[in-house]
Structure 1
Amino acid sequence: MSPCRPIRIGNCSGAIPDPGDIMLTQATAGPLDVITGDYLAEANLASYAEAHATGTHPGWVPSAWDGLQKSLGAINERRIRIVINGGAMNPKGLALETAKLVREKGYDLKVAWVDGDDLMGTVREILKPDGRGRLPHLDGHNEAVQLAHGTENFLEDPNKKIVAANAYLGCRGIRRGLDEGADIIICGRVADASPVMGAAAWWHGWRDEQFDELAGALVAGHLIECSTYGTGANFAGFDEYDTKALLNLGCPIAEIDAKGDCVITKHERLNGYVTEEVVKCQLLYELQGTTYLNSDVKADIKDVTVQQVGPNRVHVTGTKGHAPPPTTKLAVFYKGGYQGEMTINATGYATELKYDLQEAQVRSKLEEWGIMKKIDLLEFQRVGVPELNPRSQLAATSYLRIFVQAAQADTIRAVLYGITYNFMQHFPGLNCSLDWRLMDPLPYLGFFPALVKQDQIHEAANLIEGGGASARRCEVGPPARTEELSPRDDYDPVSPRDLRDFGPTRSVPFGDVALARSGDKGANVNVGFTPRAHLNNPEVWEWMRSFLTKARIKKMMGDDWEDWFHVERVEFPGIRAVHFVVYGALGRGVSSSARLDSLGKGFAEFLRFVHVPVPTKFLLRNATTSKL
């Protein structure tokens, strides 16, 4: 540990599919002080919980264990600390397995695990309704937000058994484990950026009340937590680069100084690119306004700035910190019932009428049989449009996704029978997969994003001692100081320019001038927009912030907008960005969602493809060319 220089933290995972090879690559491709890994999406814990309970799964993330097995030699030789949340439902089990391997190899490495996130034993007490009969939902404080139908009814149904309840822990347990000498810390459900925060707090010796510094580390963790999203993956500006430049991307690195400011970079010999635009897009990902929350700090990011300071080096500063809220997020999963889906293709002429006929056939038969009243959700989703004057049959083909959820598996089977009963009365040219098993009933997990008071959590670092025979438990307790959340900023443009001031316009895809990134926050989808690199100037920013109103985003959503949705809007002038949250757009969210894009990742690209009136003077340069 050297407080005289920034700590250098490399990420090795943003999701379960990231292979263990990345941990080894990060450890050997250049100098690092700490490697962190974020393996957990919200649904992972629930699926692991059920399998772990039946003894068919170890409860931890296999790719995390693979990375540790491959990397322990390099970790020991280079004295790199490891902090990952790959322990999932069984951080103790993975820590003990890792400690066993360390002993077998004869390495000098101390292993610990962090726990306290699993609240299955108290979840029903936590979920007690308030005086209005409402459960402690993540968005419950916002009177303007309506929850999707069926969101709060699972506690009343004995068939909807809760299978997982995990709180999003902060960095205090991680920091304590490092202070106690741990080299490898295995976590369960800590917040995505907590490993980075804990490592930075340990390195620089920050106190729990150094909120500006912790907030800066929170932003740094957010910028590298999603694996290669920080080096060019999932990047709206990918069309400005040669395809070969996007292959075999390395993962990002955050260099965090004693003030909490950071430089986002990567190992020089690995592929990828770190630019202002890449960093901006990741910064805008999965936000809810200008306040980014963690169990240890509230980060005010409305004045954050990014600046290219060298090849693949972007400096990030301007974050302010405040005391954390007295509550944190609690992800609750329960047995939701069963679901099934089937796709039916239509080709060419009169596609809309073909799908009208298909839907009418199925619905009328289900009504006749009395099945509709047993169905929780039935949607006929029309995906794609046929190309006019097509160049091939595939170009003329789109599909209808029939999606159904119900309490009983037999109801799903009845819907399939409703499809097949009239199958030979189909519209002209119907075609589909011949594998009818795709409609077989599958159990699904419902999702409820709750809130839990931080003083109801017993977070601790557990240091393995005595050759693995015992562990020393170090509880960290809740934050010493908390502050209630203030209402989030939400406003349309202040003093907007008259759009006519920018001259004549032409209708083009919004993506010709704008970059964006979107993602999910439970049942909500969020999206942030910023100008393309060659249009990053004050005039384009004035037009963009004046153009992107709440009414505009509703109009751009077209038929996807529902009147019961709620939208919030904020601006980030330091990075010239406008950000929206659309509440309710993902239904009940995550594993409960019926959306084809259940995590909202395609929402930004949909809006970038919508044609809007753009000032012609911004289009004089080819939209897909830029300085690289």
Structure 2
Amino acid sequence: MAERKRAVRIANCSGAASDPGMHMYNQARFGQVDGITGDYLAEMNLANFAVDRETHGHPGWAPTALDGLQQTIEIANEKRIKIVINGGAQNPKGLAEKTHELVREKGLNLTVAYVDGDDQMANVHRILRDIRSGALPHLDNGNDEVQLAGETLSFLDEPDKMPVVSSNAYLGYRAIKRGLDEGADIVICGRVADASPVIGLAAWWHAWSEDDLDQLAGSLVAGHLIECSTYVTGANFAGAYRYPPETFINLGLPIVEIEADGSCVVTKHPELPGFVTADTVKCQLLYELQGDIYLNSDVKADIARVRVSDEGEDRVRVTGVRGHPPPPTTKLATFYKGGFQCEMLINATGYATAHKWDIQETQMRAKLAEWGVLDQLDELDFQRVGVPMENPDCQLASTTYLRIFAQAKDAATLGKVPQAWMYHGMAHFAAYRRRPAQADGTPRAQEQLRNRGPRPARLLRSDLFTTPGDIALARSGDKGANVNIGLYVQTDEQWAWFRAFMTRDRIKSLMGRDWLDWYFVERVEMPEMRAVHFVIYGHLGRGVSSSKLLDGLGKGFAEFIRAVHVPIPTKFLLTSKW
């Protein structure tokens, strides 16, 4: 047990199903780690795997997870590295059996376990009754000031037209720790929470009990920091413009060293590209939060007084996390077949672009109304993307897009949208151009209907200067139907001004025409990081897989807010390191 008093080194190998298996191999190869974890499950993956498993014979697990295991299993056996991943998705038993076959074929000394119980499809009819009765509330129902987007629960009224395809509970660390306690070397999970593999490994290593709340909360934050692949080693980073583009080739994934008290150091293998700084860690820490209390089925992490500091090159220490007892419930993601979706992109060039878009929208809406289908569409939105350059220096600089987005419960109704466009195909505005079919055989506009699939219910630029300056970095992301954004500054003097400046009304005004009166804003401060965090409820509509927004994941929201010009004290521009 003495060995376990040192920090446990846990490396992340995946933040989404798209991350290749090579990441798992690299984390094992380029240095000693005690465990490797991987998060392969954005919420929609579960629904897609479920549908593909039923209709196309898909195995139900993430193929990249098996690829990583195939590349890594021998070196993991040699170095005695534990592996805990949620790549089992809808079929953790199947991936565990496949992994066990691999172990046996290679004659390795490894024990494989799996965690199930998250799949609730056997209980889905009861679940739907509980949702309808209010016994199983939506996550945002606890706040009377929060409104849900229209038709969020419409699938309850038409279960035959919109059948549920998957329903998975977010499990915690307990089963993972038990598997490790009983001698498992590889633990394959389904829908455990993103940070649960890290919490499970740390709790096993340090022999924490369920009452060690500060320690569990610290490991929850540690898991949050590394769960998103390269997001803490340079990717999705607001300060990336300070580094040359070559810095971001083949970014390595992070490692977290978790101490017995739950504090941690975020780092990476020095042989792999990328960088870990206090700024990359702060940006990731602020990503996809509900506020300053981070909810998890194992523990609540209070991050109001969290501290982030550089400890050395590619080493950042995180302390100050406090733990509280977990909530009595856990998250349940239920997906249903929502219908069909159509998207079209149209170009316009040059003068009077706004009027050109007015012509296109007026033509199409009038024809759809004439055909009697306008009111049958669930969504029809005409989104103007970009602003043409005045006095352009090339044609591309004068060209912008109109994104036409539509949804309907049946294909025949939705098919009228591209037909309405085609009806006016030769009655177009000056210099009209529709994006042609892709070289890989993407169908033309009238055929571009795809099954919508399942769905779940540079800030502070001063206009006082010719060259704008930045004093705040930020990160944003999706939380169901909501978008979160955390912004922070560097010095105490900046913070004294910033916390007073960044009010709830301020974020509303910065959103400009994107703000709608039915949205609701929550605001918290994290003074040790000099950060202000907001959640804007309702901005993503019915959630990622049903959102009509071009930025349905909310990842671009922070960069949009940072780009809005506001006056700031001149002295901050003179001292800002950005």
SS of the residue corresponding to residue 539 of structure 2 reads: coil
- Asked if structure 2 preserves the Cα contact closer than 8 Å seen for 1:570 and 1:579, the reply is yes
Counterpart CA distance in 1 for 2:259 and 2:424 is 67
Return the offset for 1:321.
Answer: 0.6
> Superposed, which structure 2 residues align to 1:85-104 within 5 Å?
85-104=86-105
Amino acid at match of 2:483: V
Amino acid at match of 1:400: L
Q: Can you list the C-alpha shifts for 1:543-563, whole angstroms capped at 9, x where unaligned?
A: 111111111111110111111
Match of 1:524 in 2: 482
- Asked if structure 1 preserves the Cα contact closer than 8 Å seen for 2:249 and 2:273, the reply is yes
> Superposed, which structure 2 residues align to 1:425-574 within 5 Å?
425-435=427-437, 437-438=444-445, 440-449=448-457, 506=464, 512-531=470-489, 536-574=490-528
Greater per-residue strand proportion: 1
Return the offset for 1:540.
Answer: 0.6
Counterpart CA distance in 2 for 1:573 and 1:510 is 26
Q: Any gaps of 5 or more consecutive residues in structure 2?
A: 438-442
Counterpart CA distance in 2 for 1:384 and 1:448 is 30
Return the offset for 1:247.
Answer: 1.9
Match of 2:544 in 1: 590
When residues 384 and 290 of structure 1 are mapped into structure 2, their CA distance, relative to the original with a 3 A threshold, is same
Match of 2:34 in 1: 33
> Superposed, which structure 2 residues align to 1:181-330 within 5 Å?
181-330=183-332
SS of the residue corresponding to residue 321 of structure 1 reads: strand
Q: Can you list the C-alpha shifts for 1:248-299, whole angstroms capped at 9, x where unaligned?
A: 2111111001110101111122221111111100000000111101111011
- Asked if structure 2 preserves the Cα contact closer than 8 Å seen for 1:137 and 1:448, the reply is no
Return the offset for 1:440.
Answer: 2.3
Counterpart CA distance in 2 for 1:264 and 1:80 is 19
Q: Can you list the C-alpha shifts for 1:132-173, whole angstroms capped at 9, x where unaligned?
A: 768621111111111011001101112100000011111001
- Asked if structure 2 preserves the Cα contact closer than 8 Å seen for 1:508 and 1:613, the reply is no
- Asked if structure 1 preserves the Cα contact closer than 8 Å seen for 2:21 and 2:68, the reply is yes
Match of 1:612 in 2: 566
Q: Can you list the C-alpha shifts for 1:560-584, whole angstroms capped at 9, x where unaligned?
A: 1111111111100011100010111
SS of the residue corresponding to residue 527 of structure 1 reads: strand
Counterpart CA distance in 1 for 2:42 and 2:467 is 32
Q: Any gaps of 5 or more consecutive residues in structure 1?
A: 450-503
Q: Can you list the C-alpha shifts for 1:389-447, whole angstroms capped at 9, x where unaligned?
A: 11111110001111100011011111111111122111111101233535522111343
1:406 aligns with one of 405, 408, 426: 408
Counterpart CA distance in 1 for 2:260 and 2:303 is 18
Amino acid at match of 1:332: T
Q: Is 1:7 matched up with 2:8?
A: yes
Return the offset for 1:340.
Answer: 0.6
Return the offset for 1:66.
Answer: 0.4
Counterpart CA distance in 2 for 1:177 and 1:593 is 38
Counterpart CA distance in 2 for 1:325 and 1:41 is 22
SS of the residue corresponding to residue 478 of structure 2 reads: strand
Amino acid at match of 2:257: E
Amino acid at match of 1:600: G
In the superposition, the TM-score normalised over structure 1's length comes to 0.88
- Asked if structure 1 preserves the Cα contact closer than 8 Å seen for 2:39 and 2:227, the reply is yes
When residues 22 and 131 of structure 1 are mapped into structure 2, their CA distance, relative to the original with a 3 A threshold, is closer
When residues 524 and 397 of structure 1 are mapped into structure 2, their CA distance, relative to the original with a 3 A threshold, is same
1:365 aligns with one of 364, 367, 391: 367
Match of 1:22 in 2: 23
When residues 327 and 444 of structure 1 are mapped into structure 2, their CA distance, relative to the original with a 3 A threshold, is same
Return the offset for 1:124.
Answer: 2.7
Return the offset for 1:505.
Answer: 7.8
Counterpart CA distance in 1 for 2:383 and 2:469 is 25
Return the offset for 1:620.
Answer: 2.1
- Asked if structure 1 preserves the Cα contact closer than 8 Å seen for 2:288 and 2:479, the reply is yes
Counterpart CA distance in 2 for 1:590 and 1:446 is 10
SS of the residue corresponding to residue 122 of structure 1 reads: helix
Counterpart CA distance in 1 for 2:532 and 2:217 is 21
Q: Can you list the C-alpha shifts for 1:156-202, whole angstroms capped at 9, x where unaligned?
A: 11210000001111100100100010000000111000000000000
After TM superposition, the runs of 4+ consecutive aligned structure 1 residues lying more than 6 A away are 507-511
Return the offset for 1:126.
Answer: 2.3
- Asked if structure 1 preserves the Cα contact closer than 8 Å seen for 2:132 and 2:156, the reply is no
- Asked if structure 1 preserves the Cα contact closer than 8 Å seen for 2:165 and 2:454, the reply is no
| Aligned residues between the structures | 566
> Superposed, which structure 2 residues align to 1:19-168 within 5 Å?
19-129=20-130, 136-157=137-158, 158-168=160-170
Amino acid at match of 2:470: D
Return the offset for 1:54.
Answer: 2.5
Counterpart CA distance in 1 for 2:28 and 2:36 is 8
Return the offset for 1:33.
Answer: 0.2
Counterpart CA distance in 1 for 2:495 and 2:466 is 18
Amino acid at match of 2:278: E
SS of the residue corresponding to residue 186 of structure 1 reads: strand
Counterpart CA distance in 1 for 2:177 and 2:468 is 44
Counterpart CA distance in 1 for 2:62 and 2:374 is 40
Q: Is 1:337 matched up with 2:291?
A: no
Counterpart CA distance in 1 for 2:358 and 2:219 is 53
- Asked if structure 2 preserves the Cα contact closer than 8 Å seen for 1:253 and 1:266, the reply is yes
In the superposition, the TM-score normalised over structure 2's length comes to 0.95
Identity of aligned residues (%): 60
Amino acid at match of 2:127: I
Match of 1:349 in 2: 351
- Asked if structure 1 preserves the Cα contact closer than 8 Å seen for 2:265 and 2:317, the reply is yes
SS of the residue corresponding to residue 568 of structure 2 reads: strand
- Asked if structure 2 preserves the Cα contact closer than 8 Å seen for 1:135 and 1:152, the reply is no
Counterpart CA distance in 2 for 1:413 and 1:82 is 47
- Asked if structure 1 preserves the Cα contact closer than 8 Å seen for 2:463 and 2:565, the reply is no
Counterpart CA distance in 2 for 1:238 and 1:246 is 9
SS of the residue corresponding to residue 518 of structure 1 reads: strand
- Asked if structure 1 preserves the Cα contact closer than 8 Å seen for 2:127 and 2:136, the reply is no
SS of the residue corresponding to residue 341 of structure 1 reads: strand
Counterpart CA distance in 1 for 2:11 and 2:348 is 48
